[in-house]
Structure 1
Amino acid sequence: MKSINFATIYIIFFILSFYSVQAHEKATVFNKNVAHAANDTVKSAKKKLAAIDPPVLVASGNQIYCPQTTLNIVTSITISHDAAETGTQALYIQISSGYSSGLDQLELSNPASHPSIITSWDATAGKLKLSSPTGADVLYSELEAAVRDVVFSNSSATASGTRTFSITIGQANYLPSTQHYYLFIPSIGITWTAAKTAAEASTYYGLKGYLATILSADEAQLIGEQASGTGWIGGSDAETEGNWKWVTGPEAGNLMTYTFWNNGEPNNQGDEDYAHITQPGIGIRGSWNDLSNTGSLNSGDPYQPKGFVVEYGGMPGELPLQIAASTKITIPEVQPVIPQPICDSGTFTITTAPTTGIIINWFDVPTGGTSLGTGSSFTTPILNTTKTYYADPGCETKRKAVTVTVNPTPDIPTTTDPIVARCGPGSVTLQASSNIGTISWFTTATANSSIGTGNTFSTPAITANTTYYAEASNNGCINSTRIPVDIVIYTPPAVTDEKDIPLCQGREVVLDAGIAGMDYAWSTGATTQTIKATTGGTYTVEVKSPAPQSCPSTKTITVQEHLIPKIDRIETNGTTATIYLTREEEYYEYSVDGFNFQDSNTFYDIPAGLQRAYIKEKNGCEGTTQDFIILVFPAFFTPNNDTFNDVWEVNGIENYPQAKVTIFDRYGKLLTELNASKMSWDGNFNSIPLPASDYWYALKIDNTKPVIRGHFTLKR
């Protein structure tokens, strides 16, 4: 296999040995690396001396793949070669894009037919190696035959996407999208600067090497996830902290516009100025970390450099090699567009998104069956029911169902209540139904906007007769014949409540519903327009207009029973009297002369003597009376024989035959006693006029009443 030249081997040997010693690695690792490199270099040198041209590999195959099957990766392959070179040590086939680890696999389908070839499958890299079991070169003709029998398989029924296969003579990974080659070179503990020097000193079939630059997701997956190891790549911010650039190969000096840093990286701290592929198991698989020039110096540390990735191709003046070819498979997908439903019957045209290289077949069963048509669109026959068709992109497991819907137009709606009556303004509940679908309600026979949906519909408040219309529809299929539902508003009887109708105790009062010619339902059970009430309380009567209106109104009458008044007592104070009842009510009024009545129960300036209190109910109910006496004690008298106030006497005492009044001077001396036979005092004691002064009296009416005491003045 052509590899690196003689000059290169010595440079790499020197660099790897120097930096490996710095990293304290065992000498056996260096010797093994050097031995392999020297062996490859000798072979390369021999071929260079013979001026052998590199082989030219041409393969074709752009195929459709159905998951869980096997498919040959090429439809044809040829390897043209120099007559002096009939074979090579190994040929590599890699799933270079779209690789699904653990599900995708490459294998030789009939190894017994290729006894000179053994295979080795690298599941991490997605790479199959074809080589000799003895380590000798394998003839190109035998490799051609073997590649024709290499098959691809995917074990998942839901697999999707495209897979690209790179077929390469040589160990380097080939990426069709860049036409570049990528090779991981292991070297434990090598620094970034040493790796850069070693990479630039190497060549691959004449292509100059450099630390790999990554410009796309395809490159990131191939270098980061599918490479055989992790190591340095050609990015750095050593020139300006935080300003990451590619500093190797044809991209040198360009900003790293495509980045796939590990979580939290780059942290732009210290001297971590160089990009390194992150070791598997640390953060995001295939991502990058920023490390110092040496990385970790601890053996086995995840951040200890394990080598570097060399990229070949794209340098100025270089022509692409033809030692690699690529083919691809596409797992077909189809996304049919569901057509709009139709009403009753008709045809549908089902379309799919544009597809390239995929032939769509149409079926009416999910598996098997006979194709109904081919192409990106399919027109059904006339259908009068819903039906499901299937778009098949070439894999039965990838058939996609599309259901075309035929909705029947509903019948004309029906209603059990074409006329709905209501008593007075308000909302009305309308009802209508249809054999299928939904009922919509409209205010006119031609209105475009409905005001409600459903078999029942409650209208807004209605004050006058009106009509609503019901229309049946089924998922957009409308029966244009609307049925009217009439609403009739009747006026209920106008009744007026009555409050506090007086009822004299022991009598009766007539209650009247107030409107003649109606139907009546009293709370007492009576059905007449009027009833007689003998007790107080609340009475109601439902007044209903005759059919067909039958609109009810309820009248409420409250009856207040007015009791016959009962006098509890009458209290007097001089010429003032207050009448107290056993139960006070607002409907009572009072009088002390039988003519002039008032709401107040207190009277003033009542003449002395026997008086009568009158209490009556204001509406003419029965009243009551009671006599009482006003006693007037003069405050003074002037016994000077001028005929005015010549004697002191108690006015009204004549109404109490047993009453006695005793008069005393200021020292308590009894001066005289008045009674029914002697009603006044002239101011003399034993016929001798007493001096002007204050004198005291005590009135005892009888044994049932308290003694009344007071004083008066004698003036001379």
Structure 2
Amino acid sequence: MQFKLRLLVFLIVAFSCKAYAQVCTGSLGDPVFIFDFGSGNTPKFPTTDYKYVTAVCPQDGEYGVAKSVIGCYGNTWNSIMKDHTGNDGYMMVVNADNIANKEFFSKATTADGTNVGVLCENTTYEFSAYILNVVRPDLIDYIKPKITFVITTLTGDIIKQSPPIEIPETTDPAGWQKYGVFFTTRAGVNAVIVKMINNAPGGKGNDFVMDDIAFRPCIPDVVPIGFSTDASGAPKNQCADVDGSYTIKAVPPSGYDFVWQQNINGAGWVDISEPTPALTRKFPAGSAAGVYQYRLGVAKAGNLSTQNCRVYSNAVSININAVPSPAALQPQTVCQGDVLTLSASGGTTYEWTGPNLPPTSQNPVVIPNIDMANAGLYHVKVISAAGCSTILPVTVNVNARPVVTASTAMSAVCKGSSTQLTATSVTANSYKWEPSTGLSDPDIANPVATPLVNTHYTVTVTNAQGCKGTAGVDIVVKPLPEADAGSDKVIFEGQSVRLNGAAGGSVGNYSWSPASSLDDPYSLTPLASPTDDVTYTLTVNSANNCDLATSQVFVRVYKKIVVSNSFSPNNDGINDLWNIEALITYPESELSVYDRNGQQVFFSRGYSKPWDGRRNGADLPTGTYYYVIDLKNGTSKLKGWVLVIR
């Protein structure tokens, strides 16, 4: 596969990097021109004989202007992610023409649109560019670019020409290198033409990217400057609230005129009137914050007034750093025992001091359980990243908490009983008891408490400064006895029934009354054998002196029904009526008598008048009759027979 990709050369200012060929290794001036192929959304295009294409990977004899080069020719090219300066800029991508020694960049150093020269006579200039071979170094037999930098007069006479410079492969896709040539103008020469020629053919390799083409004055020697106290030229830093004075010294080269320049906050370099090689600058307290840069410009005698003839020293900086101006801290008032938090802003670091506070860089400062000894004046030093500082005061007031005690008339009460709570505090403005359940009024000093369960009551008192104090008291609730005599009972006279009593809660002892007809009145389940209706009362006494509990059970005792099985209604005064013993005690009872055929011959409710053996006033014949007695008390009906004898 043919390996192709060529980067076209564009102009850009470049201070000396690692030097190749004949680049100037001394001091450089501001560019006469710089070509950087544009940035953002505005590319710039060079003057060249190569064909421009929009493709990322141009063919032989073509060039493109791109911000990155990725994935060309089966990845035989390195991936170039950004241009030389990395400023979202463009670079020229060149795929060499098959014809060797082809000129691919040309520019005259004349004023734009005219043929007027902008150079000075007898002045040295550098013509350079940053170039990067895009072919990967592991590929074999690929052609390397060979670039010649040529400087001619406007009529084409060669003034200076570099030897062909071979651009090596590199494993570093960001390994841009500076290449170029420098020369000295002759008398009468104030404009030249600069060119670049690719001496190698294309076809297999000879692909490169180019950026930041520049033409600028230079001198072979370095023109260093430095502070009188520090020749290294390292920046000086001063806070705006202090005085400072700085002397910058330079040694201009022999045969050169010089002028000092300053650049404030990047606004641009301007000449300043200081005719000596030692420049003194004073910055009294209150000077405007900013970056103040200084450099020395030199030019051959008589050429200093022309900017394109000057060469400049390194620049030194004096940084006047602003003093932090944080917001004032407001006084703080806290209650004794609270957490105090002090916080400042507007700096990168902080130093706090205060009463009983060891110096600390913590911010915010958190002081738990603050005491009266912590009241007073605190200070914080707010320090910027440049080390400039401002000290702020803040007053902390600590109010005492109210002292409160809590008590109760009784620490233990029977369930349902009450006791009075009392809070005592000399400085209290208000009271608040919690929980409020069972309290007559939770917002007074001495509420009446009627708790249903064991309760811890807490009273919070607040003084006039809003500080709070608390105290607590425990109330034990003693359980009451519980009594349950069970459900009512029904028996017939002569029967017995077991009472089903139960006791709960606080139980000391228990008993039944009346005790008569009970086998054990001190048992919860005594056997009762009453002869008449009776109400029994179960009394349970508390084990903790909390009153007693009672419960009653009613036992209904029905009289025993005695039914004779014969009577003789013959008016002899003996056994003339059918007397049923105790039936009259059941006033709601019903008695029915039937003959052999099931015909009812007698009915009575309450049995207030015994049966005389008649039916509707007529005697019934001797015989057996059948009866049914319903006592109407929920008991089973009584059934049987009776013999009527005449």
**Interval containing the TM-score (normalised by the shorter chain):** 0.3 to 0.5
TM-score, with length taken from structure 2: 0.41
Larger strand share, 1 or 2: 2
Higher relative contact order (CA 8 A, sep 6+): 2
Larger helix share, 1 or 2: 1
TM-score, with length taken from structure 1: 0.37
